[in-house]
Structure 1
Amino acid sequence: MVVYNELVAITTGAGLLGFAWFLADLIRGRRIESEGWAGFFGVTGILLLTLGLHTTVTWPFGGKGFEYANIAFGQPAAGFGALLLFAAVYLWRHRALFAGDAEEASARALSALRPVSVFVGALGLAMGVLAIAFVRFQLGAAPPEEPISGRFGHLPLLEALFLGGLWGVVAVGAVLFATAQLTNRPQLLRWAIRAWVVGGVVFLLFGAMNFYTHIGMYYNIAHGTMHKW
Protein backbone atom coordinates (compact mmCIF):
# COMPACT_ATOMS: atom_id res chain seq x y z
CA MET A 1 0.00 0.00 0.00
CA VAL A 2 1.35 3.40 -1.00
CA VAL A 3 1.14 5.83 1.93
CA TYR A 4 2.17 9.48 1.71
CA ASN A 5 -0.23 11.04 4.16
CA GLU A 6 2.82 11.99 6.26
CA LEU A 7 3.79 14.70 3.76
CA VAL A 8 0.13 15.67 3.32
CA ALA A 9 -0.26 16.09 7.08
CA ILE A 10 2.83 18.21 7.68
CA THR A 11 2.10 20.34 4.60
CA THR A 12 -1.47 20.82 5.76
CA GLY A 13 -0.22 21.85 9.19
CA ALA A 14 2.27 24.29 7.69
CA GLY A 15 -0.39 25.65 5.32
CA LEU A 16 -2.88 26.23 8.13
CA LEU A 17 -0.30 27.92 10.34
CA GLY A 18 0.98 30.03 7.46
CA PHE A 19 -2.47 31.18 6.38
CA ALA A 20 -3.40 31.96 10.00
CA TRP A 21 -0.26 34.10 10.30
CA PHE A 22 -0.95 35.78 6.95
CA LEU A 23 -4.59 36.47 7.88
CA ALA A 24 -3.55 37.89 11.25
CA ASP A 25 -1.22 40.33 9.49
CA LEU A 26 -4.00 41.30 7.09
CA ILE A 27 -6.56 42.15 9.76
CA ARG A 28 -3.95 44.17 11.66
CA GLY A 29 -2.98 46.09 8.54
CA ARG A 30 0.66 45.02 8.68
CA ARG A 31 2.96 45.14 5.68
CA ILE A 32 2.84 41.88 3.69
CA GLU A 33 5.91 40.51 1.92
CA SER A 34 3.90 39.33 -1.05
CA GLU A 35 6.68 37.51 -2.90
CA GLY A 36 7.68 35.47 0.14
CA TRP A 37 4.10 34.55 0.95
CA ALA A 38 3.41 33.74 -2.71
CA GLY A 39 6.32 31.31 -2.66
CA PHE A 40 5.12 29.70 0.57
CA PHE A 41 1.54 29.29 -0.64
CA GLY A 42 2.78 28.08 -4.03
CA VAL A 43 4.96 25.32 -2.55
CA THR A 44 2.35 24.09 -0.06
CA GLY A 45 -0.46 24.46 -2.60
CA ILE A 46 1.28 22.45 -5.32
CA LEU A 47 2.12 19.63 -2.90
CA LEU A 48 -1.37 19.38 -1.48
CA LEU A 49 -3.16 19.73 -4.80
CA THR A 50 -0.95 17.14 -6.50
CA LEU A 51 -1.04 14.55 -3.72
CA GLY A 52 -4.68 15.26 -2.92
CA LEU A 53 -5.79 14.81 -6.53
CA HIS A 54 -3.71 11.65 -6.90
CA THR A 55 -5.27 10.19 -3.77
CA THR A 56 -8.75 11.23 -4.90
CA VAL A 57 -8.58 9.65 -8.34
CA THR A 58 -6.34 6.59 -7.77
CA TRP A 59 -7.32 5.50 -4.23
CA PRO A 60 -3.86 4.30 -3.10
CA PHE A 61 -5.17 3.52 0.39
CA GLY A 62 -6.82 0.17 -0.18
CA GLY A 63 -7.87 -3.06 1.46
CA LYS A 64 -9.07 -4.13 4.89
CA GLY A 65 -11.62 -1.35 5.26
CA PHE A 66 -9.07 1.46 4.93
CA GLU A 67 -10.55 2.85 1.72
CA TYR A 68 -12.25 5.68 3.62
CA ALA A 69 -8.80 7.32 4.00
CA ASN A 70 -8.80 8.18 0.29
CA ILE A 71 -11.87 10.34 0.86
CA ALA A 72 -10.94 11.77 4.26
CA PHE A 73 -7.34 12.62 3.34
CA GLY A 74 -7.29 13.15 -0.42
CA GLN A 75 -10.27 15.33 -1.17
CA PRO A 76 -9.79 17.97 1.57
CA ALA A 77 -6.08 18.14 0.68
CA ALA A 78 -6.88 18.81 -2.98
CA GLY A 79 -9.35 21.55 -2.09
CA PHE A 80 -6.99 23.21 0.39
CA GLY A 81 -4.14 23.00 -2.10
CA ALA A 82 -6.20 24.78 -4.76
CA LEU A 83 -7.03 27.57 -2.29
CA LEU A 84 -3.37 28.01 -1.36
CA LEU A 85 -2.46 28.26 -5.04
CA PHE A 86 -5.09 30.96 -5.48
CA ALA A 87 -3.45 32.92 -2.67
CA ALA A 88 -0.04 32.43 -4.30
CA VAL A 89 -1.21 33.72 -7.68
CA TYR A 90 -3.02 36.70 -6.13
CA LEU A 91 -0.02 37.75 -4.05
CA TRP A 92 2.40 37.39 -6.94
CA ARG A 93 0.23 39.37 -9.37
CA HIS A 94 -0.35 42.17 -6.84
CA ARG A 95 3.24 42.72 -5.74
CA ALA A 96 2.99 46.42 -6.53
CA LEU A 97 -0.10 46.78 -4.37
CA PHE A 98 1.58 45.19 -1.35
CA ALA A 99 4.66 47.34 -1.87
CA GLY A 100 2.49 50.42 -1.28
CA ASP A 101 0.18 51.39 1.56
CA ALA A 102 -0.13 48.42 3.93
CA GLU A 103 -3.65 49.15 5.17
CA GLU A 104 -5.02 49.62 1.65
CA ALA A 105 -3.37 46.41 0.48
CA SER A 106 -4.79 44.48 3.45
CA ALA A 107 -8.29 45.82 2.89
CA ARG A 108 -8.20 44.91 -0.81
CA ALA A 109 -6.83 41.44 -0.06
CA LEU A 110 -9.59 40.74 2.47
CA SER A 111 -12.13 41.92 -0.08
CA ALA A 112 -10.63 39.62 -2.71
CA LEU A 113 -10.94 36.68 -0.31
CA ARG A 114 -14.69 37.22 0.11
CA PRO A 115 -15.83 35.21 -2.97
CA VAL A 116 -13.32 32.47 -2.14
CA SER A 117 -14.85 32.17 1.33
CA VAL A 118 -17.82 30.36 -0.22
CA PHE A 119 -15.56 27.45 -1.12
CA VAL A 120 -13.73 27.70 2.21
CA GLY A 121 -17.08 27.32 3.96
CA ALA A 122 -18.00 24.39 1.74
CA LEU A 123 -14.75 22.62 2.61
CA GLY A 124 -15.43 23.39 6.27
CA LEU A 125 -18.82 21.74 5.98
CA ALA A 126 -17.22 18.69 4.38
CA MET A 127 -14.56 18.52 7.10
CA GLY A 128 -17.27 18.72 9.75
CA VAL A 129 -19.15 15.81 8.20
CA LEU A 130 -15.92 13.82 7.97
CA ALA A 131 -15.30 14.52 11.67
CA ILE A 132 -18.71 13.05 12.48
CA ALA A 133 -18.01 10.03 10.26
CA PHE A 134 -14.70 9.33 12.04
CA VAL A 135 -16.50 9.13 15.38
CA ARG A 136 -19.73 7.50 14.21
CA PHE A 137 -17.94 4.61 12.47
CA GLN A 138 -14.87 4.59 14.78
CA LEU A 139 -12.40 4.99 11.93
CA GLY A 140 -8.66 5.50 12.09
CA ALA A 141 -7.48 2.75 14.45
CA ALA A 142 -3.83 1.92 13.79
CA PRO A 143 -2.79 -1.70 13.10
CA PRO A 144 -0.90 -3.50 15.91
CA GLU A 145 2.31 -3.46 13.81
CA GLU A 146 2.46 0.36 13.97
CA PRO A 147 4.61 1.69 16.84
CA ILE A 148 3.04 4.14 19.31
CA SER A 149 -0.38 4.44 17.62
CA GLY A 150 -0.73 0.65 17.41
CA ARG A 151 -0.66 0.39 21.21
CA PHE A 152 -4.12 1.94 21.22
CA GLY A 153 -5.50 0.04 18.23
CA HIS A 154 -7.75 -2.01 20.51
CA LEU A 155 -9.50 1.25 21.45
CA PRO A 156 -10.77 2.43 18.06
CA LEU A 157 -12.92 5.14 19.58
CA LEU A 158 -9.81 6.85 20.98
CA GLU A 159 -8.19 7.54 17.62
CA ALA A 160 -11.58 8.24 16.07
CA LEU A 161 -12.12 11.00 18.64
CA PHE A 162 -8.64 12.37 17.97
CA LEU A 163 -9.06 12.46 14.19
CA GLY A 164 -12.64 13.66 14.42
CA GLY A 165 -11.58 16.41 16.79
CA LEU A 166 -8.73 17.47 14.51
CA TRP A 167 -10.89 17.57 11.39
CA GLY A 168 -13.58 19.32 13.44
CA VAL A 169 -11.29 22.11 14.67
CA VAL A 170 -10.22 22.89 11.10
CA ALA A 171 -13.87 22.78 10.03
CA VAL A 172 -14.84 25.30 12.70
CA GLY A 173 -12.13 27.67 11.49
CA ALA A 174 -13.30 27.37 7.88
CA VAL A 175 -16.97 27.98 8.74
CA LEU A 176 -16.05 30.96 10.94
CA PHE A 177 -13.92 32.42 8.15
CA ALA A 178 -16.74 32.07 5.63
CA THR A 179 -19.29 33.50 8.05
CA ALA A 180 -17.05 36.46 8.87
CA GLN A 181 -16.50 37.28 5.22
CA LEU A 182 -20.03 36.74 3.96
CA THR A 183 -21.83 38.50 6.83
CA ASN A 184 -19.28 41.31 7.28
CA ARG A 185 -18.38 40.29 10.84
CA PRO A 186 -14.59 40.61 10.83
CA GLN A 187 -14.35 39.95 14.58
CA LEU A 188 -14.98 36.27 13.79
CA LEU A 189 -11.74 36.12 11.80
CA ARG A 190 -9.74 36.10 15.03
CA TRP A 191 -11.55 32.96 16.15
CA ALA A 192 -10.92 31.34 12.77
CA ILE A 193 -7.22 32.12 13.20
CA ARG A 194 -7.18 30.52 16.65
CA ALA A 195 -8.88 27.37 15.35
CA TRP A 196 -6.43 27.06 12.47
CA VAL A 197 -3.43 27.58 14.73
CA VAL A 198 -4.59 24.71 16.94
CA GLY A 199 -5.37 22.50 13.94
CA GLY A 200 -2.13 23.44 12.19
CA VAL A 201 0.07 22.60 15.18
CA VAL A 202 -1.62 19.23 15.71
CA PHE A 203 -1.49 18.33 12.00
CA LEU A 204 2.19 19.24 11.89
CA LEU A 205 3.10 17.17 14.96
CA PHE A 206 0.88 14.26 13.90
CA GLY A 207 2.39 14.16 10.41
CA ALA A 208 5.94 14.34 11.77
CA MET A 209 5.21 11.47 14.16
CA ASN A 210 3.82 9.39 11.30
CA PHE A 211 7.19 9.46 9.54
CA TYR A 212 8.45 7.40 12.48
CA THR A 213 5.41 5.23 13.12
CA HIS A 214 4.82 4.29 9.48
CA ILE A 215 8.48 3.38 8.91
CA GLY A 216 8.29 1.33 12.10
CA MET A 217 5.12 -0.37 10.86
CA TYR A 218 6.74 -1.43 7.59
CA TYR A 219 9.83 -2.58 9.46
CA ASN A 220 7.72 -4.71 11.80
CA ILE A 221 5.82 -6.23 8.89
CA ALA A 222 8.98 -6.95 6.87
CA HIS A 223 10.97 -8.43 9.75
CA GLY A 224 8.24 -10.07 11.80
CA THR A 225 9.01 -7.84 14.77
CA MET A 226 6.64 -5.96 17.06
CA HIS A 227 8.42 -2.80 18.13
CA LYS A 228 5.89 -0.78 20.09
CA TRP A 229 7.93 2.41 20.43
Structure 2
Amino acid sequence: MKDFFTGEKTPGMIDWASMPTYNTIMSLVAGAGLIALVMFARDLMRQQSALASRPVAGAADVEAGPRGEIAPVEDGLSTDGWALTFGVLGLILSVTGLHMTLTWPLAAGGFAFDNIIFGEPSLAFGVLMGALALYLWRRGDRITGSAQPVRMVARAARPLSVLIAGLGLALLGIMFAGIVYQFFAAPPQEPISGAFADYPWLEAWALSLVFGLVGVGALLFPFAVRQLAAPTPAGTAATSGGAAKAAGWIWLITGVIFLLFGAMNFYTHIGLVVNTQ
Protein backbone atom coordinates (compact mmCIF):
# COMPACT_ATOMS: atom_id res chain seq x y z
CA MET A 1 0.00 0.00 0.00
CA LYS A 2 2.92 2.32 0.73
CA ASP A 3 4.33 1.86 -2.80
CA PHE A 4 0.86 2.45 -4.24
CA PHE A 5 0.76 6.01 -2.90
CA THR A 6 4.52 6.75 -3.03
CA GLY A 7 5.97 4.69 -5.90
CA GLU A 8 9.42 3.16 -6.10
CA LYS A 9 12.50 5.30 -5.56
CA THR A 10 15.13 5.28 -8.33
CA PRO A 11 17.32 8.38 -7.85
CA GLY A 12 18.92 9.76 -11.01
CA MET A 13 16.65 7.82 -13.34
CA ILE A 14 15.40 10.91 -15.23
CA ASP A 15 17.13 14.21 -15.93
CA TRP A 16 14.15 16.49 -15.46
CA ALA A 17 16.13 19.61 -16.26
CA SER A 18 16.29 18.48 -19.89
CA MET A 19 12.70 17.25 -20.09
CA PRO A 20 10.11 19.80 -18.94
CA THR A 21 6.79 18.01 -18.52
CA TYR A 22 3.50 19.89 -18.31
CA ASN A 23 0.90 17.56 -19.78
CA THR A 24 -0.70 17.72 -16.32
CA ILE A 25 -2.15 21.18 -16.95
CA MET A 26 -2.86 20.24 -20.58
CA SER A 27 -5.03 17.30 -19.54
CA LEU A 28 -6.83 19.36 -16.90
CA VAL A 29 -7.57 22.25 -19.27
CA ALA A 30 -8.52 19.99 -22.18
CA GLY A 31 -11.04 18.27 -19.93
CA ALA A 32 -12.39 21.59 -18.71
CA GLY A 33 -12.63 22.75 -22.33
CA LEU A 34 -14.70 19.74 -23.41
CA ILE A 35 -17.03 20.20 -20.45
CA ALA A 36 -17.29 23.95 -21.15
CA LEU A 37 -18.28 23.31 -24.77
CA VAL A 38 -21.15 21.10 -23.67
CA MET A 39 -22.27 23.58 -21.00
CA PHE A 40 -22.15 26.44 -23.50
CA ALA A 41 -24.21 24.47 -26.03
CA ARG A 42 -26.81 23.74 -23.36
CA ASP A 43 -26.92 27.41 -22.34
CA LEU A 44 -27.45 28.30 -25.99
CA MET A 45 -30.28 25.78 -26.29
CA ARG A 46 -31.91 27.11 -23.13
CA GLN A 47 -31.63 30.67 -24.46
CA GLN A 48 -33.54 29.78 -27.62
CA SER A 49 -36.09 27.69 -25.73
CA ALA A 50 -36.71 30.57 -23.31
CA LEU A 51 -37.27 32.93 -26.23
CA ALA A 52 -39.67 30.46 -27.83
CA SER A 53 -41.73 30.25 -24.64
CA ARG A 54 -42.19 34.03 -24.35
CA PRO A 55 -45.45 35.70 -25.33
CA VAL A 56 -45.87 36.61 -28.97
CA ALA A 57 -44.30 39.79 -30.32
CA GLY A 58 -46.13 42.87 -29.18
CA ALA A 59 -46.37 41.86 -25.56
CA ALA A 60 -44.82 44.14 -22.97
CA ASP A 61 -41.69 42.08 -22.39
CA VAL A 62 -40.77 41.49 -26.04
CA GLU A 63 -39.17 44.27 -28.02
CA ALA A 64 -37.86 44.02 -31.55
CA GLY A 65 -34.45 45.54 -32.26
CA PRO A 66 -33.44 47.55 -35.33
CA ARG A 67 -32.70 44.35 -37.31
CA GLY A 68 -35.67 42.46 -35.93
CA GLU A 69 -33.73 41.00 -33.02
CA ILE A 70 -35.53 39.93 -29.88
CA ALA A 71 -34.70 41.53 -26.56
CA PRO A 72 -32.34 39.19 -24.65
CA VAL A 73 -33.76 36.92 -21.97
CA GLU A 74 -33.12 38.34 -18.52
CA ASP A 75 -30.46 36.26 -16.73
CA GLY A 76 -30.00 34.33 -19.98
CA LEU A 77 -26.88 33.40 -21.93
CA SER A 78 -23.75 35.29 -20.78
CA THR A 79 -21.59 35.52 -23.88
CA ASP A 80 -19.05 37.64 -21.97
CA GLY A 81 -18.64 34.90 -19.39
CA TRP A 82 -18.21 32.21 -22.02
CA ALA A 83 -15.79 34.39 -24.01
CA LEU A 84 -13.63 34.74 -20.89
CA THR A 85 -13.87 31.00 -20.22
CA PHE A 86 -12.85 29.91 -23.70
CA GLY A 87 -10.23 32.66 -23.88
CA VAL A 88 -8.49 31.47 -20.70
CA LEU A 89 -8.67 27.78 -21.62
CA GLY A 90 -7.63 28.45 -25.22
CA LEU A 91 -4.64 30.55 -24.17
CA ILE A 92 -3.25 27.86 -21.85
CA LEU A 93 -3.63 25.07 -24.41
CA SER A 94 -2.35 27.20 -27.30
CA VAL A 95 0.83 28.22 -25.47
CA THR A 96 1.66 24.80 -24.05
CA GLY A 97 0.60 22.97 -27.21
CA LEU A 98 2.64 25.28 -29.44
CA HIS A 99 5.74 24.93 -27.27
CA MET A 100 5.44 21.13 -27.17
CA THR A 101 4.74 20.92 -30.91
CA LEU A 102 7.72 23.07 -31.92
CA THR A 103 10.35 22.08 -29.34
CA TRP A 104 9.57 18.43 -28.49
CA PRO A 105 10.57 18.72 -24.80
CA LEU A 106 9.64 15.10 -24.04
CA ALA A 107 12.05 13.69 -26.62
CA ALA A 108 15.01 14.00 -24.25
CA GLY A 109 13.58 11.30 -21.98
CA GLY A 110 12.74 8.92 -24.80
CA PHE A 111 9.09 9.94 -25.14
CA ALA A 112 9.19 11.74 -28.48
CA PHE A 113 5.80 10.31 -29.45
CA ASP A 114 4.17 12.07 -26.48
CA ASN A 115 4.96 15.43 -28.08
CA ILE A 116 2.67 14.47 -30.96
CA ILE A 117 0.02 12.87 -28.78
CA PHE A 118 -0.31 15.74 -26.31
CA GLY A 119 1.14 18.76 -28.10
CA GLU A 120 -0.58 18.89 -31.47
CA PRO A 121 -4.18 18.13 -30.39
CA SER A 122 -3.80 20.61 -27.52
CA LEU A 123 -2.57 23.29 -29.90
CA ALA A 124 -5.49 22.75 -32.28
CA PHE A 125 -8.08 22.65 -29.48
CA GLY A 126 -6.60 25.75 -27.86
CA VAL A 127 -6.70 27.78 -31.08
CA LEU A 128 -10.29 26.66 -31.73
CA MET A 129 -11.36 27.75 -28.25
CA GLY A 130 -9.55 31.04 -28.73
CA ALA A 131 -11.43 31.61 -31.98
CA LEU A 132 -14.72 30.85 -30.22
CA ALA A 133 -13.83 33.32 -27.46
CA LEU A 134 -13.15 36.03 -30.03
CA TYR A 135 -16.41 35.28 -31.86
CA LEU A 136 -18.45 35.46 -28.65
CA TRP A 137 -16.72 38.68 -27.63
CA ARG A 138 -17.36 40.35 -30.98
CA ARG A 139 -20.83 38.92 -31.72
CA GLY A 140 -22.22 38.37 -28.23
CA ASP A 141 -24.95 41.02 -28.51
CA ARG A 142 -26.13 39.67 -31.85
CA ILE A 143 -26.22 36.12 -30.49
CA THR A 144 -28.26 37.01 -27.40
CA GLY A 145 -30.47 39.25 -29.55
CA SER A 146 -31.15 36.59 -32.16
CA ALA A 147 -34.47 34.75 -32.22
CA GLN A 148 -32.52 31.59 -33.18
CA PRO A 149 -29.12 31.83 -31.42
CA VAL A 150 -28.43 28.11 -31.85
CA ARG A 151 -28.73 28.34 -35.63
CA MET A 152 -26.59 31.50 -35.71
CA VAL A 153 -23.69 29.90 -33.84
CA ALA A 154 -24.02 26.60 -35.75
CA ARG A 155 -23.85 28.38 -39.11
CA ALA A 156 -20.71 30.21 -37.99
CA ALA A 157 -19.10 26.96 -36.83
CA ARG A 158 -20.03 24.89 -39.88
CA PRO A 159 -16.95 25.81 -42.01
CA LEU A 160 -14.71 24.57 -39.19
CA SER A 161 -16.34 21.14 -39.29
CA VAL A 162 -13.80 19.92 -41.86
CA LEU A 163 -10.88 20.66 -39.53
CA ILE A 164 -12.69 19.27 -36.50
CA ALA A 165 -13.55 16.06 -38.33
CA GLY A 166 -9.91 15.79 -39.41
CA LEU A 167 -8.85 16.15 -35.78
CA GLY A 168 -11.30 13.38 -34.98
CA LEU A 169 -9.51 11.08 -37.41
CA ALA A 170 -6.17 12.11 -35.87
CA LEU A 171 -7.44 11.21 -32.39
CA LEU A 172 -8.54 7.83 -33.67
CA GLY A 173 -5.01 7.41 -35.04
CA ILE A 174 -3.65 8.19 -31.57
CA MET A 175 -6.04 5.63 -30.09
CA PHE A 176 -4.83 2.84 -32.38
CA ALA A 177 -1.17 3.82 -31.87
CA GLY A 178 -1.66 3.78 -28.10
CA ILE A 179 -3.19 0.31 -28.19
CA VAL A 180 -0.72 -1.21 -30.66
CA TYR A 181 2.43 0.23 -29.06
CA GLN A 182 1.05 0.27 -25.50
CA PHE A 183 1.69 3.93 -24.76
CA PHE A 184 0.64 5.72 -21.54
CA ALA A 185 1.80 2.96 -19.16
CA ALA A 186 3.27 4.59 -16.05
CA PRO A 187 6.58 3.32 -14.57
CA PRO A 188 6.59 1.82 -11.07
CA GLN A 189 8.29 4.99 -9.83
CA GLU A 190 5.04 6.90 -10.36
CA PRO A 191 2.56 6.75 -7.46
CA ILE A 192 -0.91 5.22 -8.03
CA SER A 193 -0.64 4.75 -11.82
CA GLY A 194 2.71 2.98 -11.42
CA ALA A 195 1.07 0.28 -9.32
CA PHE A 196 -0.21 -1.14 -12.61
CA ALA A 197 3.20 -1.11 -14.33
CA ASP A 198 3.08 -4.91 -14.67
CA TYR A 199 -0.09 -4.52 -16.75
CA PRO A 200 0.92 -1.93 -19.39
CA TRP A 201 -2.07 -2.85 -21.57
CA LEU A 202 -4.47 -1.58 -18.89
CA GLU A 203 -3.57 2.11 -18.98
CA ALA A 204 -2.78 1.88 -22.70
CA TRP A 205 -6.31 0.70 -23.47
CA ALA A 206 -7.97 3.04 -20.98
CA LEU A 207 -6.39 6.30 -22.15
CA SER A 208 -6.38 5.26 -25.80
CA LEU A 209 -10.13 4.69 -25.68
CA VAL A 210 -10.64 8.13 -24.11
CA PHE A 211 -8.70 9.73 -26.97
CA GLY A 212 -10.72 7.67 -29.44
CA LEU A 213 -14.04 8.68 -27.91
CA VAL A 214 -13.15 12.37 -28.16
CA GLY A 215 -12.34 11.66 -31.81
CA VAL A 216 -15.76 10.05 -32.34
CA GLY A 217 -17.37 13.19 -30.92
CA ALA A 218 -15.32 15.30 -33.34
CA LEU A 219 -16.41 13.11 -36.26
CA LEU A 220 -20.04 13.68 -35.25
CA PHE A 221 -19.52 17.46 -35.21
CA PRO A 222 -20.25 18.09 -38.93
CA PHE A 223 -23.54 16.22 -38.65
CA ALA A 224 -24.39 18.03 -35.42
CA VAL A 225 -23.85 21.54 -36.81
CA ARG A 226 -25.76 20.63 -39.95
CA GLN A 227 -28.74 19.67 -37.82
CA LEU A 228 -28.45 22.73 -35.59
CA ALA A 229 -27.98 25.13 -38.52
CA ALA A 230 -31.24 24.04 -40.14
CA PRO A 231 -33.95 26.74 -39.98
CA THR A 232 -36.77 26.23 -37.50
CA PRO A 233 -40.16 27.94 -37.38
CA ALA A 234 -40.24 31.18 -35.39
CA GLY A 235 -41.05 30.64 -31.75
CA THR A 236 -39.92 27.01 -31.84
CA ALA A 237 -37.80 25.61 -29.03
CA ALA A 238 -34.33 24.44 -30.05
CA THR A 239 -33.83 20.72 -30.62
CA SER A 240 -30.35 19.24 -30.65
CA GLY A 241 -30.75 16.22 -32.93
CA GLY A 242 -29.18 12.79 -32.50
CA ALA A 243 -25.64 13.67 -33.60
CA ALA A 244 -25.44 16.72 -31.32
CA LYS A 245 -26.76 14.78 -28.34
CA ALA A 246 -24.31 11.93 -28.90
CA ALA A 247 -21.34 14.29 -29.33
CA GLY A 248 -22.39 16.24 -26.25
CA TRP A 249 -22.55 13.19 -24.02
CA ILE A 250 -19.27 11.82 -25.39
CA TRP A 251 -17.44 15.10 -24.79
CA LEU A 252 -18.97 15.56 -21.36
CA ILE A 253 -17.91 12.10 -20.18
CA THR A 254 -14.41 12.25 -21.68
CA GLY A 255 -14.00 15.82 -20.44
CA VAL A 256 -14.66 14.71 -16.87
CA ILE A 257 -12.17 11.85 -17.29
CA PHE A 258 -9.43 14.12 -18.65
CA LEU A 259 -10.04 16.73 -15.96
CA LEU A 260 -9.92 14.22 -13.11
CA PHE A 261 -6.95 12.36 -14.60
CA GLY A 262 -5.05 15.63 -15.04
CA ALA A 263 -5.84 16.66 -11.47
CA MET A 264 -4.61 13.28 -10.17
CA ASN A 265 -1.43 13.63 -12.22
CA PHE A 266 -0.46 16.74 -10.28
CA TYR A 267 0.14 14.34 -7.40
CA THR A 268 1.47 11.38 -9.35
CA HIS A 269 3.86 13.40 -11.52
CA ILE A 270 5.24 15.25 -8.50
CA GLY A 271 5.81 11.86 -6.88
CA LEU A 272 7.52 10.63 -10.05
CA VAL A 273 9.87 13.61 -10.02
CA VAL A 274 10.69 13.12 -6.34
CA ASN A 275 11.39 9.42 -6.87
CA THR A 276 13.59 9.78 -9.98
CA GLN A 277 15.43 13.11 -9.75
Q: Same fold (TM over 0.5)?
A: yes
Counterparts of 2:156 and 2:241, CA distance in 1: 14
SS of the equivalent of 1:139 reads coil
Q: Deviations over 1:78-113 (max 9, x none)?
A: 000011011101100012213424x42222111111
Which among 214, 217, 221 is matched to residue 177 of structure 1?
A: 221
Partner amino acid for 1:219?
V
Deviation (angstroms), 1:145: 0.9
Cross-structure match for 2:72: none
Structure 1 runs not aligned, ≥5 long:
223-229
Which among 265, 269, 275 is matched to residue 210 of structure 1?
A: 265
| 1:136 pairs with 2:154 | no
TM-score by structure 1 length?
A: 0.91
Partner amino acid for 1:73?
F
| 1:38 pairs with 2:56 | no
Structure 2 runs not aligned, ≥5 long:
1-18, 50-75, 231-239
Q: Deviations over 1:138-162 (max 9, x none)?
A: 1111111110111111211111101
SS of the equivalent of 2:106 reads coil
Counterparts of 1:64 and 1:42, CA distance in 2: 32
Which among 183, 196, 210 is matched to residue 166 of structure 1?
A: 210
Partner amino acid for 2:21?
V
Is the CA contact 1:24–1:193 (under 8 Å) kept in the aligned structure 2?
Answer: no
TM-score by structure 2 length?
A: 0.76
SS of the equivalent of 2:202 reads helix
Is the CA contact 1:33–1:98 (under 8 Å) kept in the aligned structure 2?
Answer: no
SS of the equivalent of 2:107 reads coil
- Structure richer in helix, relative to its length: 1
- Cα RMSD (Å): 1.6
Deviation (angstroms), 1:38: 0.4
Deviation (angstroms), 1:221: 1.8
How many residues were matched structurally? 221
> Matched residues, percent identical?
43
Cross-structure match for 1:15: 33
Q: Deviations over 1:39-86 (max 9, x none)?
A: 000000011011001000100112454111000000000000011011
Larger Rg: 2
Map of 1:1-229 to 2, 5 A cutoff? Answer: 1-28=19-46, 29=48, 31-63=76-108, 65-101=110-146, 103-182=147-226, 186-222=241-277
SS of the equivalent of 2:156 reads helix
Is the CA contact 2:143–2:152 (under 8 Å) kept in the aligned structure 1?
Answer: no
Counterparts of 1:63 and 1:140, CA distance in 2: 17
Moved more, 180-189 or 162-171: 180-189
Moved more, 91-100 or 122-131: 91-100
Counterparts of 1:144 and 1:137, CA distance in 2: 19
Deviation (angstroms), 1:177: 1.2
Counterparts of 1:27 and 1:17, CA distance in 2: 16
SS of the equivalent of 2:95 reads helix
Counterparts of 2:131 and 2:108, CA distance in 1: 35
Counterparts of 2:181 and 2:110, CA distance in 1: 11
Deviation (angstroms), 1:23: 1.6
Q: Deviations over 1:146-205 (max 9, x none)?
A: 101111112111111011111011111111112333576943101100000011000000
